[in-house]
Amino acid sequence: MGSFKAISCWSFPRSGEEDDFERHYWEVHVPLAAAIPGTVSLTLTRTAEGLEGAAPSYYRVAETVFESKEALEAAMGTPQWDALRADAAVMHERFGVTLANGLGDPVAVELTAGPAGSAGASAPAPPEGPEG
């Protein structure tokens, strides 16, 4: 079975509003997201740190998997989707957050034993393009 992923990256809420944001996120927004028809899985991450000691680029990341691009497109025409989008607008206004989104086909990479560059490691093959 194939899958299609929507990735949503939330910016940081205004300073001092993190607890209120989290409460709203878990009590209102997450249940709305979980109710979207056709959702196969929903993974939520609160980023606590960035790479190599840097600050994280995003406050929260949500990964929503659908069976296909068509399943996502169908979900986007539902009242549940409209409710989720309306709540995101409330969150933008109330907490000063922004939301960056991306869509695509996930590609699983089989990991090999051994560190990169060793004889046991091999680079994954790129996914096939649309032409085959």
pLDDT for position 2: 72
With a cut of 50, say whether residue 71 has pLDDT above it: yes
For residues 28 and 30, give the distance between their C-alpha atoms in angstroms, rounded to a whole number: 6
Cβ neighbours of residue 25 under 8 Å, at least 6 residues apart? 60, 91
Q: How is residue 30 annotated by DSSP?
A: H
pLDDT for position 132: 46
% pLDDT > 90, the chain: 82
**Under the phi-then-psi rule, with left for phi > 0, alpha for psi from -120 to 50, and beta for the rest, what region is 114?**
left
For residues 91 and 25, give the distance between their C-alpha atoms in angstroms, rounded to a whole number: 9
34, 81 contact by CB (below 8 A): no
E strands, the chain, in order: 4-10, 39-46, 60-66, 99-104
CATH entry 3.30.70.100 includes domain 4-104: yes
What is the average pLDDT across 110-129?
A: 64
Residues 74-109 have pLDDT tens digits of 999 999 999 999 999 999 999 999 999 999 999 989
* DSSP element (H, E) containing 85: helix 79-95
pTM, 2 dp? 0.81
What is the average pLDDT across 49-66?
A: 95
> Would you list the domain boundaries of the chain?
4-104
